[in-house]
Amino acid sequence: MTLSFNRRRLLKGAASLVGASVLSGCDALVTNDSANSVVQSAETLTKAVQRTLLGRHQLAQEFTEADLSPDFKVNGTDYPEGDAYARLADTNFADWRLIVDGKVRAPLELSLADLKRFPSRTQITRHDCVEGWSAIGKWTGVPLKTLLDAAGPQIDARYAVFHCADRYEEAADGNGNYYESIDLVDAYHPQTILAYAMNGKDLTIGHGAPLRLRVERQLGYKHAKYVMRIELVDSFANIARGRGGFWEDRGYEWYAGI
Amino acid sequence: MALPAAKKTNERVLVWRHSLLVRSTHWINALCLVFLLMSGLQIFNAHPRLYIGKYGADADRAFISAGARGGQASPQGYLQVGPLTIPTTGVIGVSNQNGEAVIRGFPSWITLPGYQDLATGRRWHFFFAWLFVLNGLAYMIYGIFAGHFRRDLVPSGDQLTAAHLKREIADHARLRFPKGEEARRYNALQKIAYLAVIFILLPLMILTGITMSPGMDAALPWLADLFGGRQTARTIHFISASLLVAFVIVHLFMVVASGLWNNLRSMVTGRYAIEESEGPK
């Protein structure tokens, strides 16, 4: 009885030891730098293949009013912290200005009313979160192309960086500012818009008021909310941790078409 | 492959069963499936709810979900499938992690990595997805052009008669496996199972997988419609993955039951032993 109990305990102990070493082996593997760089190479392949299949102008699927999500999930920040944003929100963003600068010939400073005077685009699209859920919403805004044409990118501009008003899950190194970046292929895509309205109403604060990016052929985290400034750059290596976005700095793919 | 006997040892004869390409693609595939399953469950855990339709998020009704009730103090794990709710504390919904009960979809011992890290899970999933697709492509080309499908996997006429199938099912139930000449080829149930995996489940995994990609949905707009929406595709991805796991469990069981070392040798060296003395059936 005692013997069998001890033996069982021994077996159980041995089994959990083997299990633990296999487990920690797995975790050691995924944290191994050279294994990771091999695995990460698939991202380059994915982007190259998708860009070849997609071309510059292939549109993301658009839906009808009947397909709209009854309750479009608010994700990430639902109200940016700090007095500066609160003051803007208090006056319904009358004092808010969008800055377009960096590698442009004519920097812009635009109010919400200015943006609404440009020709708008409305699209009903599916928002796919990296976590796996999807929601369908109707977005109205100004095509990013319109603003880029007005500002005139310099010859060495390669990326548009979106600086946002929200700070999210601030890390120890103080890098909590949300930002995102896309290259000029996506920046000039006809469905890439800066949306100020959702489902026919002004954008709510939960969904990124006063302005959020829509970049429909990529995952949700690319669709930066609370956009304050669009900076054209030739490289994003010197912004935050240098990977081109808040979530990219935390390990997610820069090209989020998958 | 039903090729001439290669070497005679007593009454046992070693015959060529698996070509080098079948053997190497088999093992690469096995490796891919392990990594894909474990990283896939990591990804599932980021949002352990599955829906039917074009959209689906927390406010929408889930067709399948893993979760916990009863609060943080004493959480009770469950798996909900349609109207059914199954208590699964310890495995799904709530499981043990470093000696503590935590709320998570699938337990840490079956996810890659063991801790919650969606970004890493995705990176490994997509790397092995590419390897799986390229490996599968090599196998498909070989299967078609070298005659592997026609010769080894398509059931022959005599295997498809009702009487033969009935006998095979009865033999399977008693774990009685073909001997002698009959063991030179796969039996009909085996062929049907392999064909279903090769031509239905694995392609379904790839198609539903790329349907979840917003880039691929833009490139191939018929994809999402084919499955009735991205969220349905995600649900089918999960269900066909579960069926694959079920196939692998039965496959491993049959490998052991019908002669572990003989089967392993044939998938490593290509040679499979049959008992010649039994004679043709």
Give the confidence band of A3 by pLDDT, cuts at 50, 70, 90.
Answer: very low
A251 touches chain B (CB under 8 A): yes
Binary contact (A69, B115; C-beta < 8 A): no
Strand partners of residue B90: B95
**How far, in Å, CA of B272 to CA of B94, rounded?**
45
| C-beta of residue A202 within 8 angstroms of C-beta of residue A216 | no
Cβ–Cβ below 8 Å for A132 and B213: no
A129-171 pLDDT, tens digit per residue, is 999 999 999 999 999 999 999 999 999 999 999 999 998 876 6
Helix (H, G, I), strand (E, B) or coil at B101: strand
Inform me whether the C-beta atom of residue A216 falls under 8 Å from chain B C-beta atoms: yes
Residue A135 CA to residue A145 CA, distance in Å, equals 25
Domain extent listing, chain B: 5-19+146-278, 50-105
- Across the interface, of A19, A136, A258, the residue whose CB is closest to B54 is A136
E strand residue ranges, chain B: 5-9, 12-16, 49-50, 64-69, 76-81, 84-87, 93-97, 100-104, 271-275
Task: For A40-66, write each residue's pLDDT tens digit.
Answer: 999 999 999 999 999 899 999 999 999
Half-sphere exposure of residue A65: CA atoms within 13 angstroms, side-chain side? 2
Q: Quote the minimal CA–CA distance from B123 to chain A in Å.
A: 6
Residues of chain B contacting A, Cβ within 8 Å: 38, 43-44, 46-47, 49, 51, 54-60, 108-109, 112-115, 117-120, 122-124, 126-127, 129-130, 212-221, 224, 230-231, 234
Size of interface A-B (CB pairs under 8 A): 141
Coil, strand, or helix at residue B18?
A: coil
Q: Which of A30-34, A196-200, B252-256 has the lowest mean pLDDT?
A: A30-34
Q: Which of A41, A45, A135 sits opposite B57 (nearest CB)?
A: A135
- Look at residue B278 in the predicted model and tell me its pLDDT: 44
- Residues in chain A within 8 Å Cβ distance of B109: 19, 23
What is the C-alpha separation between B58 and A155, in angstroms, rounded? 45
A132 at interface of B, judged by CB pairs closer than 8 A: yes
Token output for A172: 């120890």
Helix (H) / strand (E) containing A159: strand A159-167
Give pLDDT tens digits for A231-241.
Answer: 999 999 999 99
* A30 lies within 8 A of chain B by CB: yes
CA within 13 Å, CB half, A210: 24
Q: Would you call A199 an interface residue with chain B, using a CB distance cutoff of 8 Å?
A: no
- Lateral strand order in the sheet of B84-87: B49-50, B64-69, B76-81, B84-87
The answer, yes or no, to whether residue B280 has pLDDT greater than 50, is no
Q: What are phi and psi of A32, to 5 degrees?
A: -75, 130
As given in the structure block, the two tokens for residue A56 are 């510059």
How far apart are alpha carbons B64 and B252 in whole angstroms?
Answer: 28
Which phi and psi angles does A89 have, rounded to 5°?
-65, -35
Report the pLDDT averaged over residues B131-142: 98
Strands (E) across B10-164 are located at 12-16, 49-50, 64-69, 76-81, 84-87, 93-97, 100-104
In total, chain B counts a number of residues equal to 281
Three-state DSSP class for residue A177: strand
Q: Give the 3-state secondary structure of residue A33.
A: helix
- Work out the average pLDDT over B219-242: 97
User: Once rounded to an integer, what is the mean pLDDT over residues A67-78?
Assistant: 96
Q: Per residue in B144-190, pLDDT tens? A: 999 999 999 999 999 999 999 999 999 999 999 998 888 999 999 99
d(CA B239, CA B253): 21
C-alpha A87: how far from chain center: 25
Confidence of residue A2 (pLDDT cuts 50, 70, 90): very low
What confidence tens digit (pLDDT) does each residue in A203-228 have?
Answer: 999 999 999 999 999 999 999 999 99
Whether B127 and A126 lie within 8 Å, measured CB to CB: no
Residue-range domains of chain A with CATH: 60-250 (3.90.420.10)
From B81's Cα to the closest Cα of chain A, the distance in A is 18
Q: In this model, does residue A15 exceed pLDDT 80?
A: no
What pLDDT score was predicted for residue B193? 97
Angle, helices A2-31 vs A33-54, to 10°: value is: 50
CA B255/CA A207 separation, integer angstroms: 54
